[in-house]
Structure 1
């Protein structure tokens, strides 16, 4: 039997992992990436992260205007480059709550339970704090917890503690709750993503086709046999024994829908012939959301960002209600002002305590407007549609506002809240402020949901239901979003999916 050929679509957090594991197992791998090489210096220097939004390395997606977000659209940056969104993000390493995985396992099998994914996480990481029952040091992904905090970031942590929040030295340890220094994927001031850590060292062992956007998969008699892709303005085809979609929670469902895999009536309505009915493709879209508390410093200036150092170094996990079994809020703290669209800039230096929710109840969807790559995609997070989301958000915003009042910020930096501002007092006013200024935490998931029920898009081994030769391996498979940043879980999903596929291919 000859080597199996596999096409992997997307060189992001999960796709790079899948491609590497397949190469190691002896498969013939062709990797498609819609973007280019990661030559932009801003990718490698975390202090320049803001330059990447709206750049050529960003898909630059926008949602439709959303009622829950004051009828405004929201910018959703996504990586269009080798490295994917892990080339654009803040590289924060969060494994999230053990209960997240145990919830998945109830429906999708014990392999997804926390006790079984923790050893995989340990195998993935090279933790600066040394090996322990929670951490590994032999993995390909560097996790740094030893860098020096900027003074303003230390003051933010101190202010959280002064306001009654416990300091947690390791949120990837015993528990998530508390205020913590972020653990990040950085070595010597340089961002390390899975493209660099997994794939770049073996790039001679696979074929990588950049600047090539996959339009659809080729479906013949219930089996996927290849992909159609556009490169240099030409639509071309490539065939393989197996196709893996790792194009992310916004990309993978679009490819399925353009392939005629999805809700039949919706596809027909936009001129696509339905070939395989799967009603939930593109549904169950959800995301973590943020809204800023921005304070100016009146007695001393915050130094400018340093090369190779992120403007975010601390965050916090908290429960908005005592009866919750895990945190539902995760504010993230920045040494610079993070203005929402339409905000007037502050003249002096300022910092941002970005209040945030990580257990959204609202669900949205992705739909197409036509069959072509140039046809507009409609992305609707349906943000803040469920009233429970706003309740948790208001709680988080109040926590952030209280931090600004503490001595570590108010006295030591002369911190003074500018946004929302003193005139915003009641819960109703706070809710209105949040709706007007809500932004994404860059964690879209759920659009190719994993499950064992008839509505699931993929099964617990991440095979697309009812089809042979096709898997989805990325954050789109999450039935429900994790409690915290989704990059580490996406890498875990890459490792899990690769293991299933290698076993199925008999490699």
Structure 2
């Protein structure tokens, strides 16, 4: 009889795991809390901004962030087939070799760069298209030129071994359309006889009997009061850095004191579940232009370039990764008529990619309807403020270079001339937002406190794995979608190897 598996989450990692297990003959049930990716804005890169706060967004918010002006930060997460890879900018970054070697040296045995690199190469040459073969819109080319005038090298392939410099983004697109792992891995086999796809259904918890995970408790989103149970030989959580720890906590796997306070029976006292939460952060530098930039074009992402830069000379790898948008990313800021011009412009979003701050995710109650208490502890560590502020200052300088100031008539709208460089730290605290890269809440390692071991098995619970970005011990130097794909491939391999 074929082995059976439940995969929770049809995002980047879960879609890959599903395909690999289906191909290996497993009977697979893939559960997705959202619906199918029928929204045209998912597939049209120029419309990605429409997906925030839409039905396809979990629309999470943090608790008030003490060190970020007391603000509650919006955390967009994909609630749809494709997961957050259905909402993001499709940027593919292998990140730094030192990231993975650091994981291994800290106890994530088998996750060094020598093991990871071949997985990247296989993904990029197999099902998922990764390309920078597309024309830059004029403002994006000028941003590259201005960065060169600022003294940054042009890096034609930041995935070639060196991150530093300004680059055209490598993205997962084909013919001007988004391609994610749901589309590339699962859709070709969605009618397979050994695959069942369940959408619009949220997993409340894992069923654990005598220390073994035997299934999940399922709650229909349409009918929250109706729940059912599904059982399988393997249970794999791929619900992301917010969803996977929440399911574990509702299952009674987490810090004993917290669980008992909520009336949740403790299955395993695991203090690290939900801890170690961290994220990349952005802070906006917005310019208006005298020369029209133009509206977003169909089939063209509103971001096409980014750069990696070290805010201090003594750093071994870049700690900042600004991302550049062909539109003014006003967000909660207000364009002032008569001051900020007719509306054309661009944004150089300063970016922090090596955060030292660590937060945590906790439950407010035992039900799926109870909101998650998400605390990034954003900018709690002063080193994060210093690096992000340095990135903001750099973005201001780039925007003032001739390729933008002279050729486009670029004028800084925000922070604006009334904010001197000496006050940029305050600007950062008032404006920092997520880069959409939460990780770490189900940390892997070889120590007893790790949530999962290096083969992604939940410690103390047989038959249960977590395979998604939540297992990252520390965040990667760059966008986390590509590493999440590697985690999916390696996690699926571990399942198959351990099953013999």
Distance 1:304 1:339 in 2: 15
Matched, 1:190 2:177: yes
Secondary structure of the residue aligned to 1:237 is: strand
Matched, 1:117 2:116: yes
Aligned to 1:484: 478
- Structure 1, unmatched stretches of 5+, are 126-137
Distance 1:440 1:338 in 2: 13
CA contact (8 A) 1:159 1:407 kept: yes
Residue-by-residue CA offset, 1:421-476 (whole Å, 9 max, x unaligned): 1111143x101111111111000000000011111100000000011010000000
User: Offset at 1:198?
Assistant: 0.5
Aligned to 2:418: 423
Matched, 1:81 2:72: no
User: Offset at 1:244?
Assistant: 0.1
Residue-by-residue CA offset, 1:147-177 (whole Å, 9 max, x unaligned): 0000000000000000100100000003000
- Which of 275, 281, 294 does residue 283 from structure 1 map onto? 275
User: Offset at 1:338?
Assistant: 0.9
Map 1:290-439 to 2 at 5 A: 290-298=282-290, 300-344=291-335, 346=340, 347-427=342-422, 429-439=423-433
Distance 1:331 1:505 in 2: 43
Secondary structure of the residue aligned to 1:411 is: helix
CA contact (8 A) 1:124 1:139 kept: yes
Map 1:49-198 to 2 at 5 A: 49-125=48-124, 138-198=125-185
Aligned to 1:255: 247
Distance 1:197 1:409 in 2: 38
Matched, 1:458 2:445: no
Query: How many residue pairs align between the two structures?
Result: 491
Distance 2:109 2:241 in 1: 24
Secondary structure of the residue aligned to 1:491 is: helix
User: Offset at 1:339?
Assistant: 1.8
Aligned to 2:208: 219
CA contact (8 A) 1:64 1:73 kept: yes
Distance 1:338 1:270 in 2: 40
TM-score, length basis structure 1: 0.96
Matched, 1:264 2:264: no
Distance 1:434 1:379 in 2: 20
Distance 1:348 1:454 in 2: 55
Distance 2:486 2:319 in 1: 22
User: Offset at 1:306?
Assistant: 0.6
Secondary structure of the residue aligned to 2:284 is: strand
User: Offset at 1:99?
Assistant: 0.1
Distance 2:212 2:266 in 1: 15
CA contact (8 A) 1:281 1:448 kept: yes
- Which of 472, 493, 497 does residue 499 from structure 1 map onto? 493
CA contact (8 A) 2:109 2:454 kept: no
Distance 1:29 1:413 in 2: 54
Aligned to 1:201: 188
Distance 2:333 2:272 in 1: 35
Distance 2:108 2:254 in 1: 25
Distance 1:104 1:174 in 2: 18
Secondary structure of the residue aligned to 2:110 is: helix
Distance 2:326 2:393 in 1: 19
Residue-by-residue CA offset, 1:17-51 (whole Å, 9 max, x unaligned): 00000011110000000000100000000100010
CA contact (8 A) 2:109 2:445 kept: no
CA contact (8 A) 1:340 1:439 kept: no
Matched, 1:469 2:449: no
Secondary structure of the residue aligned to 2:286 is: strand
Distance 1:466 1:174 in 2: 38
User: Offset at 1:111?
Assistant: 2.2
CA contact (8 A) 1:223 1:469 kept: yes
Distance 1:68 1:301 in 2: 37
Distance 1:391 1:356 in 2: 12
Residue-by-residue CA offset, 1:406-434 (whole Å, 9 max, x unaligned): 1100000000001001111143x101111
CA contact (8 A) 2:108 2:453 kept: no
Distance 2:161 2:236 in 1: 35
User: Offset at 1:106?
Assistant: 1.0
Secondary structure of the residue aligned to 1:68 is: coil
CA RMSD of aligned residues (A): 0.9
Distance 2:314 2:416 in 1: 31
- The answer to which of 109-118 and 245-254 deviates more is 109-118
